[in-house]
């Protein structure tokens, strides 16, 4: 088949080589952005009289027709036309005749593809921000129901101090808030038009880049045509933001997996987000959480791939850059899917409050309470720590917990201990009393919830 660039060539590549070089199998995802970019470009060509206005209108009409066909899923792509840009150009010429060949005046696929990617990411990042917001809403709703649900807080995955379950969930709210901020901030650098940079050096035609940018809704245009077609920073930044977001999700996924095990037994995920075993009838596996933990590997990998493609790449456009797309599309789909799954998983999970409560009664996570109690009575904290450490050890030897000890036994360890110690040692009290700013105390958690709600 005759190539758009065929004039200089005396032979065509074999089909398999053509397929190896083609990007249409994946860049067809840019079909609407490519049409939108072309419509803006051709309107600009008409407005500046680079081509007659009637021809510009005819081409724009032809592009609208292709758009309607694309919406109906009626476009047929071919690898021999290499990519979305050449496929659409060919279809346009077929639709409206040779005048369609004027569309590419003053433009190159290099600024065209960059424009498509900017348009695409701008839209997708806005969608991702909205999904993060929904996930945050699910966290806040679940936190609202669980301010006074007390369960073990961990460090080193060892029981540390009891905390409010809402407090733990809200920690993820703030991580996601930072993710949202990062995505929002990145829009500044996505929202710039490369269109009109042409191949690399600009063009001799009297184009109006600002007009085309305005039609496309971009806030500004690249200042340097070589930078415009070489820049993939905005994709790296997107992949990096996505990698961090899914890293956060992978941490929550890991906790959900642990919590839904018999050993922890803190939550039960809704059946929708679990699967069974083909052999073990009793099994309920937290598949979706595991899968998201696994998918984080791919998303992080996509960031590494993009950085590696760009490393050492000379200016300006190089075919290597065609490799920027699959990882980006994959990351967009994976991050949106993961955010949606998590939102549903959190909204529908059941919290096993009884099991959480019995957990905090069967550990030493109230030991700090006793040390603080002694310190408040004037005993230097280091000594108090030692006294309580010894008490814990004697409990371990007797196979009991601090709350099982009677006052005389406690007094034996330290004469300053009084009857009020039993209130202090209660896990609920331990949480309630941690009312330092940002702490897990119920009052603080309520304040935190108010702040979180205001950000949604």
> Dihedral of the CA atoms 169, 171, 175, 176 (nearest 10)?
30
Q: How far is the CB of 324 from ligand ARG (least distance, A)?
A: 7
Q: Is the Cβ–Cβ distance between 139 and 169 less than 8 Å? A: yes
User: What's the token pair of residue 95?
Assistant: 């639709």
Least separation in angstroms between residue 183's CB and ligand ARG is 24
Chain residues 406-425 in contact with ligand ARG, contact rule CB under 6 A: none
Cα distance between residue 71 and residue 31, in whole Å: 10
124 or 365: whose CB is closer to ligand ARG?
124
- Nearest 5°: the CA angle 29, 22, 230 is 75
- Phi and psi at 279, nearest 5°, equal -120, -40
Q: What is the dihedral of CA 37, 43, 47, 51, to 10 degrees?
A: 100
> Mask of contacts with ligand ARG, 304-323, x by CB under 6 A?
-------------x-x-xx-
Task: Write down the least CB distance from residue 315 to ligand ARG, Å.
Answer: 13
34 part of the interface to ligand ARG, by CB under 6 A? no
Q: Nearest approach, Cβ of 1 to ligand ARG (angstroms)?
A: 17
Pick the closer one to ligand ARG by CB: 30 or 349: 30
Interface residue with ligand ARG among 29, 33, 83, 179 (CB under 6 A) is: 83
Distance in angstroms (rounded) separating the CA atoms of residues 208 and 12 = 36
Strand partners, 155: 158
Nearest approach in angstroms of CB 349 to ligand ARG is 42
Q: Which residue in the block uniquely carries the two structure tokens 């060892």?
A: 158
Nearer to ligand ARG, 320 or 418 (CB): 320
Residue number, 74 or 319, with CB nearest to ligand ARG: 319
User: What does the longest C-alpha to C-alpha distance in the chain come to?
Assistant: 101
Both tokens of 366, joined, read: 């109230």
Does 80 engage in binding with ligand ARG (CB under 6 A)?
A: no
Q: How far is the CB of 321 from ligand ARG (least distance, A)?
A: 5
What mask, x for binding ligand ARG by CB under 6 A, covers residues 35 to 74? ----------------------------------------
- The yes or no reply on residue 23 touching ligand ARG (CB under 6 A) is yes
Task: Report the 10 Å Cβ neighbour count for 330.
Answer: 17
Q: How far is the CB of 322 from ligand ARG (least distance, A)?
A: 4
Size of the site for ligand ARG (CB under 6 A): 10
The single residue of 10, 156, 278, 350 carrying the catalytic annotation is 156
Q: What's the CA angle centered on 224, arms 220 and 228, to 5 degrees?
A: 70
Sign of CA dihedral 202, 207, 210, 214: negative
376/418 Cα distance (integer angstroms): 13
From the list 105-113, 346-354, 410-418, 444-452, the region that binds ligand ARG by CB under 6 A is: 105-113
- Active-site residue, from 219, 220, 261, 277: 277
156 classed as catalytic: yes
Q: Find residue 150's DSSP bridge partners.
A: 164
CA 442 to mean position of chain CA atoms:
30
Q: What residues between 321 and 350 interact with ligand ARG by CB under 6 A? A: 321-322
Q: Do residues 260 and 244 lie in contact, with contact meaning Cβ atoms separated by under 8 Å?
A: no
Pattern 106-145, ligand ARG, x by CB under 6 A: ---xx--x--------------------------------
Known catalytic residue at 80: no
Q: How far apart are CA 108 and CA 104, in angstroms?
A: 7
- The structure tokens listed for 225 are 């045509």
Q: Which residues bind ligand ARG (CB under 6 A)?
A: 23, 27, 83, 109-110, 113, 317, 319, 321-322
Where in the sequence numbering do the catalytic residues fall? 156, 277
């Amino acid at each position: 088949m005759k190539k758009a660039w065929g004039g200089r060539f005396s032979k065509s590549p074999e089909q398999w080589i053509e397929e190896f070089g083609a990007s249409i199998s994946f860049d067809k995802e840019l079909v609407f952005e490519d049409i939108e970019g072309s419509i803006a470009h051709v309107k600009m060509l008409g407005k500046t009289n680079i081509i007659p206005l009637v021809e510009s209108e005819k081409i724009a009409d032809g592009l609208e027709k292709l758009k309607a066909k694309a919406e109906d899923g009626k476009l047929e792509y071919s690898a021999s036309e290499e990519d979305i840009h050449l496929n659409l150009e060919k279809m346009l010429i077929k639709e409206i005749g040779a005048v369609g060949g004027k569309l590419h005046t003053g433009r190159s696929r290099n600024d065209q593809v960059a424009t498509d990617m900017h348009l695409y990411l701008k839209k997708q990042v806005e969608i991702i921000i909205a999904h993060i917001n929904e996930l945050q809403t699910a966290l806040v709703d679940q936190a609202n129901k669980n301010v006074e649900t007390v369960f073990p807080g961990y460090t080193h995955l060892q029981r540390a101090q009891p905390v409010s379950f809402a407090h733990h969930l809200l920690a993820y709210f703030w991580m996601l808030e930072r993710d949202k901020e990062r995505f929002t901030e990145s829009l500044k650098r996505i929202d710039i038009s490369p269109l009109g940079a042409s191949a690399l050096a600009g063009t001799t035609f009297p184009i109006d880049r600002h007009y085309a940018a305005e039609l496309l809704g971009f806030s500004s245009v690249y200042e340097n045509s070589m930078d415009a077609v070489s820049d993939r920073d905005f994709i790296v930044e997107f992949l990096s933001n996505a990698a961090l977001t899914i890293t956060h999700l992978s941490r929550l996924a890991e906790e959900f997996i642990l919590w839904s095990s018999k050993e922890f037994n803190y939550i039960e995920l809704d059946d929708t987000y679990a699967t069974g075993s083909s052999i073990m009838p009793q099994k309920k596996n937290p598949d979706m959480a595991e899968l998201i933990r696994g998918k984080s590997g791919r998303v992080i990998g996509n960031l590494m791939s993009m950085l590696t493609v760009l490393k050492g790449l000379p200016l300006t456009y190089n075919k290597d850059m065609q490799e920027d797309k699959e990882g980006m599309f994959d990351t967009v789909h994976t991050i949106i899917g993961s955010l949606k799954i998590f939102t549903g998983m959190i909204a529908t999970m059941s919290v096993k409050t009884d099991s959480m409560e019995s957990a905090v009664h069967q550990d030493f996570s109230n030991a700090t309470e006793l040390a603080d109690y002694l310190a408040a009575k004037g005993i230097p904290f280091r000594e108090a720590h030692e006294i309580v450490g010894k008490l814990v050890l004697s409990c371990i030897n007797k196979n009991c917990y601090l709350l099982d000890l009677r006052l005389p036994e406690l007094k034996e360890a330290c004469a300053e201990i009084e009857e009020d110690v039993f209130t202090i040692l209660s896990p609920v009290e331990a949480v309630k009393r941690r009312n330092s700013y940002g702490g897990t105390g119920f009052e603080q958690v309520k304040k935190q919830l108010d702040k979180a709600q205001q950000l949604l």
